[in-house]
Amino acid sequence: MARPFFLLEGVSLYLLGVGIAYAAGASCNLRNFILGQFLVTSTQLMTHFCNEYFDREVDRMSPKTRTWFSGGSGVLPTGILPPRVALWSGIGCAGIAGIFLITLLFLSPWLSLLGLVGALAAWFYSAPPLRLVGKGWGELTSSLIVALYVPFAGAVLQIGITAIPSAFWYICLPLVLIHTATMIATEFPDRKGDALYGKRTLPVRMGLDNAAWLHNGLMSLTFVLYAIFFLKGWLDRSGLLVFIVLPLAIWQMVRVVGQARHPKAGFFWTMNGTIGLMGLTGVLWLLAVWF
């Protein structure tokens, strides 16, 4: 249920924020580095366990369409563990995250406040009464937390909130777009179960065709923005490394449109393509800022 593979995303994006701070002249603060990573990982684990618990009935509907990246872990629907294990694991991780947030009050009150907002948004992503994922806000909420707040925490804890370099925003804001596109693609396999249980994700609300075009628009806008930022000289040329993934992005956009038109086709390549694209983009930026 912990979905340890997904924890790598939190690690790499946190390191991206740390790397941006170092590139801007920050010195290494090991205590803050460890504190921030524990906060990110405990919040991420809380979200995983919470999703498993509150989406267990939806996940029961998708055993044939479950992939590594969608449909949950399958642990609760198959009865391997009782639901209360997921609930209490989520509550426990929330308590651990709370301890780190209180500690952050003494280091960066603003970051602690943002972390509290992020933790609440992560909990209510799938938990009632807000259940953001069922109201069309889940994708953007998740992307803001993962692709913006996580690297922001890494950067702030090293360089301070007032010294965040402008390059941070030029790198991370487009990452929010590509992460939102990734979220949309990973919701394709679960659309029938989601619709049945009132989980109104964007593919459910918009239909597969419109969701596919929104996915492609966000993906295209990501690379258009990066191109503009490089042409304006707002990003260092080392970051041009990120355009290595452009062929994969184009291939993924074609795959998603095809998936929308043939919804019964297998999801293997679509899921692996979209997760690989997001992961590789983050890693390439990580390499660019660190080396």
Domain that holds residue 26: 4-290
The pLDDT of residue 68 is 60
The domain that holds 95 is classified in CATH as: 1.10.357.140
pLDDT of residue 71: 64
Provide the pLDDT for residue 44.
Answer: 95
CA atoms lying within 13 Å on the CB side of residue 248: 19
Tell me the C-alpha distance between 103 and 201, whole Å: 35
Residues 122-177 have pLDDT tens digits of 999 888 888 888 787 889 999 999 999 999 999 999 999 989 999 999 999 999 99
Per-residue pLDDT at 63: 57
pLDDT of residue 186: 87
- Show the low-confidence residues of the chain (pLDDT under 70): 61-71, 265, 268
Q: Quick one: tokens of 235?
A: 């990003």
| pLDDT value for 66 | 60
Mean pLDDT for all residues in the chain? 90
How many separate domains does the chain show?
1
The answer to pTM > 0.75 is yes
Tokens of residue 237, six digits? 């040329």
Helix (H, G, I), strand (E, B) or coil at 200: strand
The whole-number pLDDT of residue 70 equals: 65
